[in-house]
Amino acid sequence: MRLAQLCCHTCARGLPKLCFGRAAVESFDIALLLFGGLFLLAPLELRRDRARMDARRGFAEGVVIGHESRRTIHDTDHTTTHRPDTRHARIAFEIDGIRHECVSSVGASFNIHRIGQRVMVRFDPDDPTNADIAHGAGSDAAMRLLILGFPIVGVLMIVFAAMRLLP
Question: Cα dihedral sign for 19, 25, 27, 29?
Answer: negative
Higher pLDDT, 118 or 40: 118
pLDDT digits (tens, 9 = 90+) for 107-127: 777 778 889 999 999 888 888
- The pLDDT of residue 77 is 61
Largest CA distance in the chain: 85
> Is pTM beyond 0.75 here?
no
Q: How far is CA 119 from CA 42, 65, 89, 112, 147, in A?
A: 31, 11, 10, 12, 27
Dihedral of CA atoms 23, 25, 26, 29 in degrees, nearest 10, equals 160
The domain segmentation of the chain, as residue ranges, is 55-135
DSSP letter assigned to residue 164: H
- The pLDDT of residue 63 is 94
